[in-house]
Amino acid sequence: MSSPPAKLRVQPDDESPAILPDELITEVLSHADVKSLMQMRCVSKTWDAMISDPKFVKLHLKRASRNPSLTLFLSKSRIDGDNNVVPFPVSCLIENPMITLPNDPYFRLRDKECRYVIGSCNGWLCLLGYSSIGAYRQIWLRFWNPAMHKMTEKLGYIWDNILGLYTHFKFAFGYDELSETYKVVLLILDEARNRTNVQILSLGDDMWRSIQSFPAVPLPFRYSNPGVNDVVYLNGSLNWLALRDSFRSIGVYGWKNVNVKEFVIISLDLGTETYRQLMPPCGFDEMSPVEPSICVLKDCLCFSNDYKRTDFVIWKMEVFGVEESWTQLFRISYQNLQSMHLDFVDLQYSQWLPLHLSDHGDTLILANKQERQAILYNLRDNRAVRTRITDDIQWFSAKVHVESLVSDILKPQVHQP
Amino acid sequence: MAEEKSQASSSKMLTLKASDGVLFEVELNIAKEMKTVQAYIDDCEDIETIPIPNVLGKHLAIVIEYIKKTNEEYDAEFEKQWNMDDLQLLLLAANYLNISGLQECLCKAIAKRIENKSPEYVRKVFNIENDHSPEEEAKLRKEYKWAFEGVDKD
């Protein structure tokens, strides 16, 4: 993946001091962190141009994606709505330090007039904030690249009237590679009309626009804050787990009445803005009291479910969109996931969410609803260890995030074919 | 990767000749990890000694050792033994010989050593002349003030 084409082969003169050609310098720099790269723009005019070049930004992003972080969402103070979001490198998390996250104002959302993180895409976080005016709320979005110290103004204003932000709205953030546009999608559950309306905001545009309504009922539908992971971004599409046809009232969630065959994955292509319906794995053939979920692991769409209250199963869609390519990735018994110190916790009735699979595939990071800490599961020796960060982190809101040099997301770039 | 080396073809030996005349006898499947050498063998099947005119004996030795031993643990410790000049010469060698794993390992290592260092330090490392005007540099330093905070001493 990093080997340059043959024509760039350079033959070093073994007597003079090594002078790396530009192609190799570019490759070296693509492994450097954003802070250092911004300093290195001062090295020379050539380096300044090299580092600002969109092709380099893309290359750097590709490398950075192999060394991602998880955004840890927590509250450092008792003030309501004063949340922090701290990008924490996965490699660091796996080493499992016992630490307390610093109370750095840089990571405070309140100062940015926001409360939640909707998603992360190419190094940019989509933040959501609101203010209450009587019985109504004015909601806005704001975009922030923490590595580049860049942030947009508040935009995408929306009013939340009878339908509530915490019960009827679902936001999602993604990127359309073809038009090089970042988009935010909003699902609005309209119980009265028995349907889910969908609006899209293309960053750079002033207005939200409506598209075809959602062909199913997205899950989960219960009171939850906007930052909770309920949508998956993968290669230019946004994906939700949903129930087809039926419309259940919020709060009354009789799982016993739900048939396995009602589950569907709705995939919205951000380029064409049309939907596709994907079936979950056929191996998921039995309902359970625990809700299944979807996530992305190793750049593939994954589906996870409880199996007979004995195991937690994760499936991987090897080829996106090809239902026959669902294969079982892991089957982990709850016994192996059990914590030594918390044996009163009923893991088999807990909802689980895989967060990340390490690069070499030997550590799976998972969260479960009943525990404060995340689980670092070693797939080689089937041992589970809890994380030891002392803060109260909302693991179900953790997003996979990378450091990127992408400095501008509002202007859709003119795409030259 | 280390396990694949003991295959049927491993009995055949090949000689590599470094730029300073030092000779290395290596197993064929080790030599094949160097795609440049592989191409050479593909062109002339009966060759026994392959000249490597751009790599000193001391660096070729290091490269060969890397190919033999590479794994996660080895790679993590590998770069610590070499100074910056050697790292750059090894990178040139890995690039010439077309060994992608080693090339990536070295790029990462060099990047790590120049991270959070001053621009003056980086210029010295790569032998680069500063062609920014003082105003241009001041402008960059001001715009990215946050990047220049907490820089490591040279």
**Pair type for strands B13-17 and B49-51:** parallel
**B54 → closest Cβ in A14, A20, A36:** A14
Q: Which of residues 62-101 of B touch A (CB under 8 A)?
A: 72, 85, 88-89, 91-93, 95-96, 98, 100
pLDDT given at position B73: 87
| A209-242 pLDDT per residue, tens | 999 999 998 887 666 789 999 999 999 999 999 9
Mean pLDDT to the nearest integer, B63-70: 95
Least trusted range by pLDDT, from A376-380, A409-413, B61-65 = A409-413
**B95 → closest Cβ in A10, A32, A35:** A10
Closest chain A residue to B93, measured at CA: A12
A15 confidence band (pLDDT: 50, 70, 90):
very low
CA dihedral B86, B91, B95, B96 (to 10 degrees): -10
Instruction: Give the residue among A367, A374, A376 at the shortest CA–CA distance from A391.
Output: A374
| B74-132 pLDDT per residue, tens | 998 999 999 999 999 999 999 999 999 999 999 999 999 999 999 999 999 999 999 99
A1 confidence band (pLDDT: 50, 70, 90):
very low
Q: Which residues of chain A lie closer than 8 angstroms to B92, CB-CB?
A: 10, 12, 18, 20, 24
| A389-410 pLDDT per residue, tens | 999 999 999 999 999 999 999 9
* Residue A27 to residue B137, Cβ atoms within 8 A: no
- Cα torsion angle, A150, A177, A302, A194, sign: positive
ipTM of the complex: 0.91
Conformation bin of residue A392: beta by default, left when phi > 0, alpha when psi is -120 to 50 = beta
Q: Which residues of chain B lie closer than 8 angstroms to A32, CB-CB?
A: 111, 114-115
Beta bridge partners of A127: A117, A142
pLDDT given at position A253: 52
pLDDT at A349 over 60: yes
Helices (H), A45-89: 45-52, 54-64
| A352-378 pLDDT per residue, tens | 999 999 988 899 999 998 889 999 999
B46 in A contact zone (CB under 8 Å) = no
Q: Which residues of chain A lie closer than 8 angstroms to B123, CB-CB?
A: 43-44
pLDDT at A248 over 70: no
* Residue B140 to residue A43, Cβ atoms within 8 A: no
> CB–CB of A311/A290 below 8 Å?
no
Closest chain B residue to A6, measured at CA: B98
Instruction: Give the residue among B83, B32, B93 at the shortest CA–CA distance from B57.
Output: B93
Mean pLDDT to the nearest integer, B27-47: 89
> CB–CB of A168/A178 below 8 Å?
no
| A324-340 pLDDT per residue, tens | 999 999 999 998 998 77
Distance CA A255, CA A216 (A): 17
- What A78-85 contacts at long range (C-beta under 8 Å, 24+ apart), as own/partner pairs, is A79/A110, A81/A110, A81/A115, A82/A108, A82/A109, A82/A110, A83/A108, A83/A109, A83/A110, A83/A115, A83/A116, A84/A108, A84/A109, A85/A109, A85/A117, A85/A125
